[in-house]
Amino acid sequence: MTKLSVNVNKIATLRNSRGGNAPDLLKVVEDIERFGAQGITVHPRPDERHIRYQDTRDLTKVVTTEFNIEGNPIPKFVDLVVETKPTQVTLVPDSVDAITSNAGWNTIEHSGFLSEVIRTFQENGIRTSIFVDADTKMVEGAAKTGADRIELYTENYAKTYPNNPEKAIASFERAAQVAHSCDLGINAGHDLNLDNIQYFKEHIPHLLEVSIGHALICESLYFGLDNVINMYLNKLK
């Protein structure tokens, strides 16, 4: 079964909008795990507009499943990850002013930098994953950095899926095949939702984990958080 890691950035965004502690991020994370999620993901950005660096520290005392921290490995982020020692760190090349992640790494151009950062994390016992587009060359480049996994950036799949599922999945199938041949674990995330997740799961062999936040929280407004998490788990079996 593919693991479901719930990205809780949107919970923090809602909390921050009023300046208090409602909703209580730590309590929501405890509930998400109790409802069946197998992981928690956060993506602290330098401006701390949703997840704060202190949230990340506090969550290490609460999360009992896998803890995944995403972000651009600037020095402040690297220090945070080494301090908190999550299960996994996912390296994402987003700019400071990015609304959301919008591209994977060029693993060839940034090979030296990524290799150095990955070595730092692995020396601290932290599994590393690189956020990449569904491009076989970028997957091969990721393998050469020494990363443990890749996370396939699935926005293009989500956009194309409603009109042409076969076209949407094709490049991801190829990328996944190359990743497996390179002994890379395969994660995926970005714009996956209840409508498109099952097709993706059925066509991507060896899919270990999906990270879902925005869509899952939006769907929970209609169906409830407990129900939505279990709907995802059923589709990921």
Number of H helices, E strands in the chain: 11, 8
Catalytic residue among 33, 43, 50, 219: 43
Active site residue 33: no
Q: What is the DSSP string of 138-170?
A: HHHHHHHTT-SEEEEE-HHHHHHTTT-HHHHHH
Catalytic residue among 70, 151, 209, 219: 70
**Of 113, 62, 53, nearest to 83 (Cα)?**
53
89 SS3 class: strand
Catalytic residue among 33, 50, 151, 190: 190
Active site residue 48: no
| Cis geometry, peptide bond prior to residue 86 (ω within 30 degrees of 0) | no
Active site residue 206: no
Which residues are part of the catalytic machinery? 43, 70, 190
